[in-house]
Structure 1
Amino acid sequence: MTLFFLAIAIIIFLLLIEVPVGFAFGIGALAFGYMQGTDVSFHTGAGYSQVNAFSLLAIPLFVLSGTLMGATGISERLLDFVNSFVGRTKGGLGAVTVVTCALFGAISGSASAAIAAIGKIMVPRMIKEGYPPGHATALVAVSSVLALMIPPSIPMIVFAIAIRESVAKAFLATMGPGIMLAIIYCGLNFWFLRKNTTITVAESLSFGDTVKEIGRTGKRASLAIIMPIIILGGIYSGIATPTEAGSMALVYTLAVGLLIYRTLPFNKLFDSTVEAARLTGAILMVLFFLFIMSRGMVLAKVPTQFADMLLTISDNKIVILLLINLLLLIMGMIIDDVSGGVLAAIILLPVTQKIGLDPIHFAAIVGTNLGLGNVSPPCAPLLYMAGGVTRQPLSTYVGPTMKFLLLGHLPMVFIVTFVPPVALFLPGLLD
């Protein structure tokens, strides 16, 4: 156990001095193997075998389809469609941002893609109409997490593979909480802005004109709206595996961008492919070293020892669940959601097994918690990315972000943890 904590300390130190995540985990894995006195090459074969799994092919497919969707202008069409419903009410643009981030998550499965695609468009628009800049940036940051919870979710693909559970069930485990969180954020947005006098609201339309606008924008966004239906329908009907659904998503995106919208010239196609390759390479590099490290930890019985250590603190299930949530929150603050998911699977799964927690319920807890950590200061990778994209100073959006998290996301973490049907109802429909 001492060697494990030392290896984790090395990784955290490297991350804090801004060493790239892949290299940090690589050095940590090598250090752990060296301190164990084992030949690291003994573990590389297992790491390569796990990274080479067919199911992981879904990651580059969804990443590439997501980057291509952003390049084709799909995000603007989705924004216009959602805006036709609530955009002409006070605080309506904020609700549009939340809902569009959720919809974009159902297309790309990436929080960073949601920030880049939605934040660049919506924050300037909200500020122009009188929204506080900090509120607008915070709303994009916290809403981006919905892309990690609404399927298809890249972190859930990796986590399900790591715990050897159904990817489809892991998708659905975070879907219910994701939808509930989107509703909560919309409500909080309206509540926080209720006394704001600087917001300008477009003139209301008659019922007939509103229906026409919804029809017009819906027609423009129809192909984007259909895409999640095709992907998720294919998976849950049993027609396609998640990997095959990723292939369907990519082919569909190319067809829409090249043949129908014709907004995907060669330079955009090339740039999107390079960006997807970069993101996929970074994810797989981290996974490779994590799998190597996990094999060493399993052979050293670290997960079992860690489970026993937690259970010596208390044998009360509620206390153990609170400790698990705290650890996941800290993980989310320090590392990205994919890496955090794999570490959680390695370290915490034995603990959950000993207290009789359903693995799919654990998947929902992990997904909800890591999302909270990713936007919680001091590290908060998604929060700082939102500030960088929107070019707002940190001091303007930290306060509004904390209000959204404390009143929205943190209660959802407790609901998911202590009200299992919230996480298990939808996956149970597949049984």
Structure 2
Amino acid sequence: MIALLFIFLLVGVPVGIAFSLAILVQADKWNVSLEFVAQTTLDALLNYPFLAIPLFILSGELMSRGGITRQLVRFSTRLFGWSQAAMGHVMILASAIMGAITGSSVAAVAAIGRAIGPEMLKRGYQPGYVGALNASAGLLGVLLPPSIPLILYGSAVGVSITTLFLATLVPGLMFAAAFMIVHALRARHVLQGGVELAVDASAESASAGGNGRFGLVAALFMPILVLGGIYSGVLTPTEAASVAALYALFYAILNRSVRMMELGDAFVKAAASGAAIMFIIGFTTVFNRGLVLQQIPQQIAALSTSYIDSPLVFLLVANLVLLLVGMFMETSAATLLMGPLLAPAAVQYGIDPIHFGIILVINIEIGLLTPPLAANLYVAALVNKIPLIPLIRQLAWFLGACLVCLALVTYVPEIALWYEFLPWKP
């Protein structure tokens, strides 16, 4: 069945349909009916936590159009105005804040690339480096909570989504720090003369949108509201997503920074993106249910424990497999497929499923930087209007930083399980 799935994907069958066809081709052999496919898909999509996905996508669209993204860039610029290579740090921090609200890597790349990419080019950065930094910093959209892939993993494996959000906080900050270190080391090599060029209009005035101090404070209150609501227990992730979307909507309306027609377009685009993800979720659930009925996850767990006698070796093999899967599969589909497949085997080795979930998502997100799928690369090249090849040439340093951070998270579980040392338990 897994072989059939990869054949369908290689010949270009849409992801959701490929998952369902892999089941239907062998429906008679496994006594799977069309009613089973329909009912399983419906049951999956009625899962309450999944409602957070289209809502976070909508909040990202409204933030980008309503001016919150510009205000976040303004705030980041003030923090790093002292640096000789400030705009690169601004892009990383703004991507982190954007991701901490929307939970989407590609959304962070698109929004921050449009806001900061042109400014970096004006200041003398090589175009390929701008695209590479934009694509890499976009990973923070998923590695910092809330995270759409972690919502999917938690729902598929049956672990607390709020705890997953806590667990990914320190790894996400570690990735942000690693990107900033790489930028500090590389800036003089990718800038004309080694320092940023002066421009007539500062980044702040270019990105602030003229909304004043009140607009900046209102924009910065949004991540505090969303993340504070989740971690305090006042809001579930789904409720926080709805609060984020409403906040972004009212901000855009009260700030008068977007026309009603643009608001309608934002809703349409968010609905289309959300529907595409939910379509994949529905049919990957059918595929995963078929795997469970055939006891394939249990067989993989038994096989791995028969030939691998160390959790350290298992984690190494799992990382290699997940990195490969991330190169060829869409993020949501890969999470929903590999989570139920590998999590039972990880538990057999005494690996915490929360820790393994962070490892899995990091691996699959690195796939957004590695062709052929590499969605972040393509979006960064598009929004920054630069060729793909120069972008890829500048990517090695950031990929290296990602792999070092992945190794640390994998073999130092306390990085992900830091919350266990808190005086209160989530």
* TM norm structure 1: 0.90
Which whole-Å CA distance do the structure 2 matches of 1:293 and 1:183 have between them? 38
Corresponding letter in the other structure for 2:225: I
Could you say which residue in structure 2 is the equivalent of 1:387? 381
Which whole-Å CA distance do the structure 1 matches of 2:292 and 2:165 have between them? 26
Q: Please list the CA deviations of residues 39-80 of structure 1 after superposition, one character each: whole Å capped at 9, or x if unmatched.
A: 243243133112111221111221111111111121111111
Corresponding letter in the other structure for 2:383: V
Could you say which residue in structure 1 is the equivalent of 2:202? none
Which whole-Å CA distance do the structure 1 matches of 2:24 and 2:172 have between them? 37
Which whole-Å CA distance do the structure 2 matches of 1:418 and 1:393 have between them? 37
Instruction: Give the secondary-structure state (helix, strand or coil) at the position aligned to 2:309.
Output: coil
Which consecutive segments of 4 or more residues in structure 1 shift more than 4 A? 216-219
- Alpha-carbon deviation of 1:344? 1.7
CA 427–126 in structure 1, closer or farther in 2 if over 3 Å, else same: farther
Q: Is the CA contact 1:160–1:170 (under 8 Å) kept in the aligned structure 2? A: yes
Could you say which residue in structure 2 is the equivalent of 1:6? 3
Q: Is the CA contact 2:229–2:235 (under 8 Å) kept in the aligned structure 1? A: yes
Could you say which residue in structure 2 is the equivalent of 1:417? 410
Q: Is the CA contact 1:81–1:217 (under 8 Å) kept in the aligned structure 2? A: no
Unaligned runs of 5+ residues in structure 2 are 200-207
Q: Please list the CA deviations of residues 329-366 of structure 1 after superposition, one character each: whole Å capped at 9, or x if unmatched.
A: 11211122221111122211111111111011011111
Could you say which residue in structure 2 is the equivalent of 1:207? none
Which whole-Å CA distance do the structure 2 matches of 1:314 and 1:361 have between them? 19
Could you say which residue in structure 1 is the equivalent of 2:172? 178
Q: Please list the CA deviations of residues 91-128 of structure 1 after superposition, one character each: whole Å capped at 9, or x if unmatched.
A: 21111101100000012111111111111222221111
CA 86–244 in structure 1, closer or farther in 2 if over 3 Å, else same: same
Could you say which residue in structure 2 is the equivalent of 1:210? none
Match of 2:253 among 231, 251, 258: 258
Instruction: Pick which of 33-42 and 161-170 moved more.
Output: 33-42
Q: Please list the CA deviations of residues 189-242 of structure 1 after superposition, one character each: whole Å capped at 9, or x if unmatched.
A: 0101234551553679xxxxxxxx9xx976532222111111121122121211
Match of 1:244 among 220, 227, 239: 239
Could you say which residue in structure 1 is the equivalent of 2:103? 109
- Alpha-carbon deviation of 1:20? 3.2
Q: Is the CA contact 1:26–1:286 (under 8 Å) kept in the aligned structure 2? A: no
- Alpha-carbon deviation of 1:317? 1.2
Q: Is the CA contact 1:64–1:276 (under 8 Å) kept in the aligned structure 2? A: yes
Corresponding letter in the other structure for 2:262: K
Instruction: Give the secondary-structure state (helix, strand or coil) at the position aligned to 1:178.
Output: helix
CA 427–102 in structure 1, closer or farther in 2 if over 3 Å, else same: farther
The alignment-based identity, stated in percent, is 35
Unaligned runs of 5+ residues in structure 1 are 205-212
Which whole-Å CA distance do the structure 2 matches of 1:82 and 1:253 have between them? 19
Could you say which residue in structure 1 is the equivalent of 2:184? 190
- Alpha-carbon deviation of 1:310? 2.4
Q: Please list the CA deviations of residues 3-29 of structure 1 after superposition, one character each: whole Å capped at 9, or x if unmatched.
A: x33233224314xx3x43333333334
Match of 1:75 among 69, 72, 80: 69
Instruction: Pick which of 84-93 and 338-347 moved more.
Output: 84-93
Q: Is the CA contact 1:32–1:293 (under 8 Å) kept in the aligned structure 2? A: no
Paired residue total: 413
Residue 119 of structure 1 pairs with residue 116 of structure 2 = no
Instruction: Pick which of 152-161 and 22-31 moved more.
Output: 22-31
Residue 223 of structure 1 pairs with residue 218 of structure 2 = yes
Q: Is the CA contact 2:149–2:332 (under 8 Å) kept in the aligned structure 1? A: yes
Could you say which residue in structure 1 is the equivalent of 2:142? 148
Q: Is the CA contact 2:96–2:141 (under 8 Å) kept in the aligned structure 1? A: yes
Q: Is the CA contact 2:126–2:191 (under 8 Å) kept in the aligned structure 1? A: no
Which whole-Å CA distance do the structure 1 matches of 2:359 and 2:103 have between them? 18
Question: How do 1:287-306 residues align onto structure 2 when only pairs under 5 Å count?
Answer: 287-306=281-300
Which whole-Å CA distance do the structure 2 matches of 1:411 and 1:368 have between them? 12
* TM norm structure 2: 0.91
Corresponding letter in the other structure for 1:230: L
Which whole-Å CA distance do the structure 2 matches of 1:222 and 1:275 have between them? 27
Question: How do 1:248-327 residues align onto structure 2 when only pairs under 5 Å count?
Answer: 248-259=243-254, 261-327=255-321
Match of 1:232 among 227, 234, 246: 227
Q: Is the CA contact 2:326–2:334 (under 8 Å) kept in the aligned structure 1? A: yes
Residue 375 of structure 1 pairs with residue 372 of structure 2 = no
CA 152–190 in structure 1, closer or farther in 2 if over 3 Å, else same: same
Instruction: Give the secondary-structure state (helix, strand or coil) at the position aligned to 1:378.
Output: coil
CA 218–401 in structure 1, closer or farther in 2 if over 3 Å, else same: farther
